Amino acid sequence: MRVGVLMGGWSPEKRVSLMSGKKVVEGLRQAGVRAVPLVLTAADKRTERLKKRVLSGRFDAVFIALHGAFGEDGQVQALLDQWKVPYTGSGALACGLAMHKGCSKLVFEAKKVPTAAWQAIARSTPRSRWAAEVRAGLPLVVKPADAGSAIGVTIVRDRSKLSGALAKAFRYSQWAVVERFVPGVEVTAGVLGRKVLPLIEIVPKNEFYDFDAKYTPGRSTHILPARIPAAKARRVRALALKAGEGLGCSDFYRVDLIVPRKGEPQVLEVNTVPGLTDTSLFPEAAKAAGLTFPKLLRRLVDMALKKRRG
């Protein structure tokens, strides 16, 4: 079996992707798979070049270890569909919906998945009107609609900071999503197939689970299983599946939630290519479910092949 591992790319999460990709190549090899790294650079924006690189490998499947734009937003998935190359994870449309937090929110609301009150603000709005457009009260979270790894995310506790936070979000996206800050325990739910993996609680040392807290060892603590009451954990598991399946996700994804002390867990987002680095949550959850990293990767490749046949 030959598997090409797509990594790198040109999104702001390129460095994270290179770390994920390296681990995936190692892990697949440990699982007895012939894994070939395919490091994408800006030159691969030329679709013909990328097509040649992918097809000339004669791969049985491609493992997508790309995060963010192009890799996680449905673009590469749509190309691989056209080229009839099986790939890991969710399909193009599900990835696109999950990547855009405004679109995800619309689906969550339609499916009755609790999510923090929100609004979208367009980059084309004149700057002088930004603050006035924001209706919700403080504190707020301002994020680019379609980025990841908490890049461009700011918690706003003071109205005078709103414009700066929006400007930061607009560096990465045409749209900003502004939502109510939800106090509570941050929990992430990995989903493999239709099974929810053990819940992990995230305790960041920083103000929130920002880029530094995510990728610098020691800047956040993972607690497994999450310290939430059993009834809440059941609800989190149900909502994680409802959120993911509502978007049309399949095979594997990771759902981020906040569990307030009172009331319903709130879904923040669904990640269709969860991090696969040393400090990443999904592999940790899989391990707690008895699945080593090589076994997990092998399962994902098998799922990709099965979809193709199906």
Sign of CA dihedral 215, 221, 223, 227: negative
Q: Which residues from 219-238 bind ligand ADP, rule CB under 6 A?
A: none
Determine which one of 11, 27, 254, 298 is catalytic. Answer: 254
CA 97, chain centre distance (Å)? 11
Q: Which residues from 244-283 bind ligand ADP, rule CB under 6 A?
A: 256, 258, 268-269
Q: Select the residue whose beta carbon is closest to Mg ion and give its number.
A: 256
- The β-bridge partners of 38 are 6
Amino acid at 31: A
Sign of CA dihedral 145, 148, 152, 153: positive
Q: How many CA atoms lie within 13 A of 157 on its CB side?
A: 3
72 lies in the site for Mg ion, by CB under 5 A: no
Determine which one of 172, 209, 215, 253 is catalytic. Answer: 215
Location of structure tokens 């939800």: 182
Between 148 and 246, CB nearer to ligand ADP: 148
Determine which one of 256, 280, 284, 299 is catalytic. Answer: 256
**Near ligand ADP by CB under 6 A: residue from 9, 27, 91, 148:** 148
- Given ligand ADP, Mg ion, none, residue 224, with its beta carbon under 5 to 8 Å by kind, binds none
Is beta strand 2-8 parallel, antiparallel or unpaired with respect to 34-40?
A: parallel
209 lies in the site for ligand ADP, by CB under 6 A: yes
256 lies in the site for Mg ion, by CB under 5 A: yes
Minimum CB–partner distance for residue 3 and Mg ion (Å): 27
Instruction: State the Cα–Cα distance between residues 186 and 141, nearest whole angstrom.
Output: 14
Between 17 and 299, CB nearer to Mg ion: 17
Enter the tokens of residue 133.
């457009």
**Near ligand ADP by CB under 6 A: residue from 62, 80, 92, 153:** 153
116 lies in the site for ligand ADP, by CB under 6 A: yes
Determine which one of 13, 72, 210, 284 is catalytic. Answer: 13
Q: Helix H segments across the chain?
A: 14-30, 47-56, 75-83, 92-99, 101-110, 127-133, 162-170, 211-215, 230-247, 281-288, 293-309
Whether residue 206 lies in the annotated active site: no
Stretch that binds ligand ADP, among 58-66, 84-92, 143-151, 161-169 (CB under 6 A): 143-151
Residues noted as catalytic:
13, 149, 215, 254, 256, 269, 271, 275
